[in-house]
Structure 1
Amino acid sequence: MSYTVMMTILTPTYNRAKTLPKLIESLYSQTTTNFQWLVIDDGSTDDTESIFEKLKNYDLPFQWEYHKKENGGKHTALNFAHEYIKGEVVLILDSDDYLTDDAIETVEKEWPLYRNCADICGMSYFRGKKDGSHLSVANAQDIYIDDDIHYLVNRRIKGDRCEVVRTDFLKKYSFPVYPGERFFSEGWFWNTLAMNYKTVYRNKTIYICEYLEGGLTKSGRALRMKCPLGMMDDCRMYLNNKVCVVVRIKEELLYWVYAKCAGYSFKRALSTSGRPVGMMLTALPGMMLYSYWKRKYLK
């Protein structure tokens, strides 16, 4: 029996009016039109809204929706999207990136092979560059099934990938939101899923990146230090025995940095970490790292 997969391409955007035309062009060029494009505008102050007003005059071959909210950060835009998602699976497409022409058709053909596997949360493809290179490491097997922690974190594989996730999982694990913090690591979400679910990894590029100045990828350490409560949540996801020792120690050091940024006392930082014994051993170097980064990034 064959299936028709309905995908949602979810684009959280903020002041990216100049890059949206390229993204729209890539969606218009898809080899299949059985998808929803859902745009959540996180309070843009440029011409983003006018672009979508004009788009209403065009007969696009796919469904699309545009919703605007108060600025709160990408993670809040992803949470806000929940009630509007119509697809069975979701691909998060940043507004300064775009898809290859066969991206959606590829997922439509491959996801049905795994949709009835209760332990599979989604699929993961390469993100690439215009020059044809890709950002992550190819696996020896074209198709490989594992969880993110074992496959990516413990093997210390770097480079962003393009994830397609079950819609019900995206809705189930909403991003925590802290007042005044406009950044929250997406890694928290994928590591949360990795505790109980596996991903299908593919050696195929379906997503092209355009990293721009001012984007989250370029924002760096200072942004994270200004959003310490969310970053502490992210660190906690690594402080368990499923994560290898080297990575765990690194995250313990980071936890101390962010706890100090949040104004936590030594005792409170220990008690909220979930690993007070291990954290005792990294306290001093963690405090030293905080002092150094504070001078360097929070001038």
Structure 2
Amino acid sequence: MAFLTVFTPAYNRAHTLQRTYESLCRQECKDFLWLIIDDGSTDQTSELVQSWQKKENGFEIQYIYKENGGMHTAHNTAYENIHTELNVCIDSDDWIAPGAVKKIRDTWEKVRDKGYAGMIALDADFSGNIIGKGFPAGMADTTLGGYYAAGGSGDKKLIYRTDVINSVPPYPVFPGEKYVGLVYKYILVDQKYKLYVMNEVVCEVEYQADGSTGTMWKQYLKNPKGFAFLRKAAMQYPSSKKRMIQDCIHYCSSSQIAKNRKYIQESPRKLLTVLCTPLGWALTEIIRNKAKENG
């Protein structure tokens, strides 16, 4: 019986999704199902997945097609349709590390009854190098924000209890925009739960030039309401004073790009927002220049 849903949001990734599939086929532990959320692809993603569904893979493959709305809406759809105890997102250009499902199962069996929201594990590149920093020696558990506030860096793989991730609100949708940072839900979960530290590589990643990481400057301009929303949440639950100031500057910038004249009134840190407004204008100019440089 599946204890884990591996879910994969996909948008025109038929050329990379094959390696995600093959990495799942190589798992010795098949106590999982694979949920693919097709975010409005116009390539051969549907046909490719249908061909896999006809094979004896050792695990169930579920496929949901939705209108294109951005990564966060694909996550909303995934969470609405996940019924296993745990879930983990493996992106459509990445693969799950060898033996990862068994490691997740074995580790979770040891800590299932300790009240954790799930587990935090490591990402590595295709050469095996850890993305960012690893976990400090002796760190048994942490919140996601606490890890970064303590000097951590780089993407980490989050394996959440499905009931916990669904206990906080879904990602909001802003008309005309297609980006809200996934960390929004993680911030809310951090307020009530910790994550058990699983000091293992669970996912091997390759950042695409047309992915959200590679196009972030343009994302700031295209999705200012989504970014302002995320920065408000981060200011409401700051992981550090330094981070709160950074988020406030970004909030000012995104609000200015969105032409929201009520941003000071709507801010959870009104005085700080007034003080950061000039820096927000400066950041806006940097964003516009960087977006032009990147085409």
TMscore range, shorter length: over 0.9
5+ residue gaps, structure 2, are: none
Give the direction of change, closer, same or farther, for the CA distance of 1:296–1:32 in structure 2 (3 Å limit). Answer: closer
Partner residue of 2:16 out of 19, 24, 40? 19
Matched residue pairs, number? 292
Query: Deviations for 1:154-208, whole angstroms, at most 9, x for unmatched residues?
Result: 2342200111001112223311111111111112221121122111123211100
Taking the aligned partners of 1:202 and 1:293, their CA distance within structure 2 comes to 36
Q: Given the alignment, which residue of 180, 186, 190 partners 1:190?
A: 186
CA contact under 8 A between 1:73 and 1:183: conserved in structure 2?
yes
Match of 2:160 among 160, 165, 179: 165
* 8 Å CA contact retained: 2:107, 2:198: no
TM-score by length of 2: 0.93
Which residue is equivalent to 1:252? 248
Determine helix, strand or coil for the equivalent of 2:114. Answer: coil
Give yes or no for contact 1:5–1:108 (8 Å, CA) kept in 2. Answer: no
Supply the distance in 2 between the matched residues of 1:181 and 1:242 (Cα, whole angstroms): 25
Partner in structure 1 of residue 41 of structure 2: 44
Secondary structure at the aligned position of 2:29 is classed as coil
Asked if the contact 1:253–1:283 (Cα under 8 Å) also holds between the matched residues in 2, the reply is: yes
* Partner Cα separation in structure 1 for residue 36 and residue 237 of structure 2: 38
- Please give the TM-score of this superposition, normalised by the length of structure 1: 0.92
> Quick one: distance in 1 between partners of 2:123 and 2:237?
29
Question: 1:102 deviation in Å?
Answer: 0.7
Q: 1:262 aligned to 2:265?
A: no
SS for the counterpart of 1:65 is strand
1:130/1:49 Cα in 2 relative to 1: closer, same or farther (>3 Å)?
same
Establish whether residue 56 from structure 1 lines up as the match of residue 50 from structure 2.
no
1:1-299, aligned counterparts within 5 Å?
Answer: 6-118=3-115, 120-141=116-137, 143-152=139-148, 154-173=149-168, 174-240=170-236, 242-265=238-261, 268-297=262-291
Rounded Cα–Cα distance in structure 1 between residues aligned with 2:283 and 2:132: 28
**Structure 1: which 5+ residue stretches go unaligned?**
none
1:25 and 1:292 map into 2 onto residues whose CA distance is 41
Shift of 1:100: 1.3
Tell me the distance in 1 between the aligned counterparts of 2:237 and 2:147.
Answer: 15
SS in 2 for 1:237: helix
Indicate the RMSD between aligned Cα atoms, in angstroms.
Answer: 1.8
The alpha-carbon deviation at position 242 of structure 1 amounts to 4.3
Deviation of the 1:117 alpha carbon: 2.6
